[in-house]
Amino acid sequence: MASRVRTNTRRMHKLRDEFFEQGKLLNTAGDVDADCWLCKEGIDYDADPGSTPASHNLDHFFSVDDYPELQEDPTNFRHSHTLCNQARGKNAPSLGLGDAVPDWW
């Protein structure tokens, strides 16, 4: 059984709160960088983080399980929906290369 590498520090709580506030400001300005980086849809910044499937959740580009040294690195943070982050888990994100080629192709 693998050991958990994720830590729950005061510093991480502060970074998470700051990142959420940054997302809210970007969203207010209409910046697409506030949208979920996984599905590219808008995030409900009025809901408390992690409280609904559409609410904000701090996602790590490189998973904390694989790269624990990047847990508190803001350059590894991404805005995401709670549901999208949970669905992704520690798997690599979808490349989002566009629509599938039609069957007739």
Give the tens place of pLDDT for each residue, 6-62.
778 999 999 999 999 999 999 999 999 999 999 999 999 999 999 999 999 999 999
Mean pLDDT score, 77-96: 88
Name the token pair of 13: 């709580």
Q: Which residue has the higher pLDDT, 71 or 96?
A: 71
pLDDT of 1 above 50: no
Confidence of residue 98 (pLDDT cuts 50, 70, 90): low
The dihedral through the CA atoms of 54, 95, 70, 3 has a sign that is positive
- What pTM was estimated for this model as a whole? 0.83
SS3 of the chain: the string is CCCCCCCCCHHHHHHHHHHHHHHHHHHHCCCHHHCCCCCCCCCECCCCCCCCCCEEEEEECCCCCCCHHHCCCHHHEEEEEHHHHHHHCCCCCCCCCCCCCCCCC
Task: Please tell me the number of Cα atoms within 13 Å of 75 on its side-chain side.
Answer: 3
